[in-house]
Amino acid sequence: MSEVRKPSAAEVDRMSEYELVELGTTLDGVEIAHREPRWPEDIHTRAEKRAAAGVTFWFALAGLLALAFIVIYIAWPWHYKGFQDSGYGLYSLYTPLLGVTLGGAILAIGIGAVQVTKKFILAEVTVQTRHDGPSDEVDRKTIVAELNNAWKTSTLGRRKAMMGALAAGGGLIGLAAIMPLGGMIKNPWKRHEMTISGDGTLHTTGWTLASNNRPDGMPAQKVYLGRDTGRVFPEGHPPEGVGRLERLHVNDLSAGALETVFPLPASELGNFEEHMSSIHGGRNSVMLFRLRPEDSAKVIKREGQENFNYGDLYAFSKICTHVACPTSLYEQQTQRILCPCHQSQFNLLEYAKPVFGPAARALPQLPIAVDEDGYVVANGDFIEPVGPAFWERKS
């Protein structure tokens, strides 16, 4: 292709928009094989009105579905309900409705965008020769003219309803997409009622119920170390007085054994629902070990925690201090507690301090005792935060 003479700035200023478009394509080495506007710029037809109505419908539908997502996210009953609980039907629809509304909104606006391209954007086939180097002033003016011309020939500028639906649908979808982020923002120090899972702050667990310095100022409760029986009742609610957890007797563990236990307040014996809440408490799970006599003689206790054990029984948090995985593996021969997620290892015989892997802090030790009936109980709360690091922790 022969080189085209570029006009002067004065000549460019005198050119019409269409002349600038022709000049721009020529200067860019573009050969237009086919160019056809979808609709005449100054003539309105029934066909184009039908096309505009179809696109407007998809954009409006996207906005309505996004608005429905926002309303459902805020107002729909989302608190957990069991299969036999009142309101379970509405609760079970919460997640599916969120998926259908947001997914449908994204699909609808996508279909609308495709329809805009197929029914309104200029039908054009071009071939361009590539060239290097930055664009000069003439090139910048001609590309602006080309973009303006493409907008005019698409006739989108006069589709007020369609463009309004697009703006509303796109804005509502954007709002729906960022709304769930608000649910992730939580004040970690906002206290709620003290329950079997703590009071909602990072320093409390279900074991805090046994503390003599409870944040809510209430007196300490008797909290047993409860073992999970795995008891279920698929046909309905459990009989009254039948729980999921049971108290662990001092003689229930043999030498070298490990048992995962959960807080079991004396006031909640036989309360199946509260037992399930204890099991599902994020930082409640504790490992109770019974060391063999020869291993007990090798124990190195942490300063200030010399009386946290009861004989050869030791209790440590099951929550890894790296990223809160369950440290559920125990090598009896080496006395190592292992985290399966990132291979952190803790020495059980030296206050569960880390000896390998990314964890940097020892597993918190739970002080324990045995009551007059021989059941193992919490002798207070953890004296350090459970789980991985956060800014305010001091250990």
Sheet containing strand 329-331, strands side by side: 329-331, 336-338, 345-347, 353-356
**pLDDT greater than 90 at residue 81:** no
The pLDDT, as a whole number, for residue 7 is 75
**pLDDT greater than 80 at residue 267:** yes
The tens digit of pLDDT for each residue in 111-161 reads: 998 988 888 877 766 666 666 666 666 666 767 776 776 667 666 666 777
The pLDDT, as a whole number, for residue 136 is 64
Mean pLDDT of 28-41: 68
The pLDDT, as a whole number, for residue 181 is 77
Q: Which of 346, 335, 345 is nearest to 312 (CA)?
A: 335
Provide the percentage of residues in the chain whose pLDDT is more than 70: 85
Comparing 41-50, 262-271, 353-362, which segment has the lowest mean pLDDT? 41-50
35 beta partners: 124
Spatial contact of 315 and 366, defined as CB atoms under 8 Å apart: yes
Mean pLDDT of 225-236: 88
Structure tokens at 375: 């059941």
The tens digit of pLDDT for each residue in 247-256 reads: 999 999 999 9
Comparing 76-80, 357-361, 364-368, which segment has the lowest mean pLDDT? 76-80
Mean pLDDT of 293-300: 94
**pLDDT greater than 80 at residue 390:** no
